Every structure is written in structure tokens, then in C-alpha cells.
Amino acid sequence: MTNSNAKGAKVTSTSTAFQDEFARASEAAEFIRQKIKVQPKIALVLGSGLGGFADELQDATVIPYAQIPHFPATSAEGHAGNLVVGKVDDVPVAAMQGRVHYYEGHSLLRVTFPVRVFSRLGIKAAFFTNAAGGVNLQLEQGCLVVLKDHINLQGSNPLIGPNDDRFGPRFSDMSEAYAKDFRALALKEGKRHGITICEGVYAAVSGPSYETPAEIRYLRTIGADTVGMSTVPEVIVARHCGIKVLAISCVTNMAAGILNQPITHAEVLETGARVRGQFVALLKSLIPRMAETLS
């Protein structure tokens, strides 16, 4: 059923749950706005091992997630749990040092809350990084993969529930979830830095167990190049809010059954640490290029 709320915006439900979500995101955005000196243009969501990049921002304001109204607090190893707002080469950015995952037991509404806060902050683009397993046999441990598309196998969608038209439309287009111009920039800048980089399709699973070899053969058959446990819910919500997206995975390990060895979280963190320098160089050179495309 379609109703109008106090501001006259259409809310496709009689429930107030999503009206509350808009109010919650607005409250968090207002809290952040009071603390920061610059209006961020790009959101950075930094996955396992890359959170340290936020420490390099100029004129930074560090806001622990725990202080931000309604913000979910992270528990995963390798994720600091701060929002850092500062500049990269004069481009104001808001960087998340770590994110919460579905496998931690948060609802997808909680997992994607920060993206809605970014939207309420007026941010127009988001850059996600993550660790992923290599499914495509041509990939190698340590290479970077620019997401050209994804397959959502998490078993749910963060937009399930009443739609609030103030965020975006009921049925959200996903035919170019990952902006073509951002992808081209990422490949170009990556090559310029001598980084092993390519494009691929990311399959999102819930985790937290890693996949079985049979599941990896299935993922390869359906067209996945990499597999991971994050990013896709946030990308769905970012697109719903009209935020332009770039996402890059670091292949921290070859997926289950490819090499004759078990997959460990330690290996994921180790490879992430080994590639960190390259990833940071790429982030630094991409952010100004991405900003140029935004009006």
C-alpha cells in the first residue's frame, strides 16, 4: 500500500520501519556533519588489512563508530571501527576503517546503514575494497580484481521490506552497478602502477565458513571469477541511493579445492598485508581521477 509521510514523500507500506531508517540515517549524518571540517565527496569502505590507509588522510577527523548514533560496531579481526573524514590530494573523503558483515549476525539493514548515512551526507561516489578468493583459475594470489558485476548468493537482499522513496525507487536498476568510467580508470591507473589487475565478477556468499570445492566449481560454472563475504549488500544500497560505485578485490587466496591446501584467515590477512602498498598507491591515484568525474 502506498502512503504519504509528513513531508509528502511516498512510502510504499503502512509500516514506519523505513521512515525510521531514514530518520536514523539523517541523525547519524547530522552527528558526523557537526564534527567534520570538509564535505566528503567520496566514501571509502576499506576491507581487511587496508584500514591503515585512513591514517594517511590529511586534516583528518576520526570518529569511532561507537559514537555515531545507530552505527553498527565491527568485531571482525583486522577492522578498526572508525570513520575517518579527511583529504586525499585535496579531495575530501569519508573512510570506513572496517565494516560489519552479514556473517557477524547483523541484519542486512544494519550492514548497509553506513551507506545510507553517506547518502544523507550528500556523498556521490563510493569505493569499496575487499578480500576475495580466486575462483577463475587464471587469477593469482595477490592480484587485484576490479568488479565489473556481481552475483548475490547471500540468500537475501538489503532492500527487502517497505521501500522509502526518499532513498530510492522500489525496483532498483542493477544493469551497471559498477560504473564503467570508474572501472576503466581503475584498470588504467593499476597498469600505470605496474599492478597485476583485471576485471571480474564477484560472487557474494554469506560465510563465515569458506566454500567447499564443489561450491567453487559451481561458482565457476555460473560465471564468478572471485568469491567473498562482503560488499554486495552495500553496493545494492548504494545504487538504490544513486551513489556511483567502484569496488576492487584483492585475491588473498585461491578458492577452496584449487590448491592442495586449506584456506585460513591468517593467509587472507598475510596476502592483504603483502599487497597493501600497491593497493594504497592505487587508491591514492584513483581518488582524484574519480572526483573529476563527479559534478
State residue 44 phi and psi, 5-degree precision.
Answer: -115, 125
DSSP symbol at 68 = S
Q: Are 136 and 249 in contact (CB under 8 A)?
A: no
Contact between 225 and ligand HPA (CB under 6 A)?
no
Q: Which of 14, 138 has the CB closer to ligand HPA?
A: 138
Set of cell numbers at residue 122: 550528500
Is 104 strand, coil or helix? helix
Q: Look at residues 131, 81, 138, 172 and name the one whose alpha carbon lies nearest to residue 269.
A: 131
Q: Is 133 in the site for ligand HPA (CB under 6 A)?
A: yes
**Least distance between ligand HPA and beta carbon 228 (Å):** 4
- Piece of the chain touching ligand HPA by CB under 6 A; list 129-137, 138-146, 157-165, 239-247: 129-137
Longest dimension (CA), the chain: 60
The SS3 call for residue 20 is: helix
Where helices occur in the chain by DSSP H, the ranges are 17-35, 108-111, 113-120, 180-192, 213-221, 232-240, 265-292
Query: Residue 253 interacts with ligand HPA (CB under 6 A)?
Result: yes
Single out the catalytic residue among 27, 56, 104, 270.
104
Whichever of 74 and 119 has its CB closer to ligand HPA, that residue is 74
Cell (9 digits) for 49: 588489512
Give the residue, chosen from 255, 282, 287, 290, that forms a contact with ligand HPA under the rule CB under 6 A.
255
Is there a catalytic annotation at residue 103?
A: yes
Q: Which CB atom, from 253 or from 278, has the smaller least distance to ligand HPA?
A: 253
Site string for ligand HPA, 264-283 (x = CB under 6 A): ----x---------------
Site for ligand HPA in 50-109 (CB under 6 A): none
The site for ligand HPA (CB under 6 A) is made up of 131-133, 210-211, 227-229, 252-253, 255, 263, 268
Q: Which residues are catalytic?
A: 48, 79, 101, 103-104, 131, 229-230, 253, 265
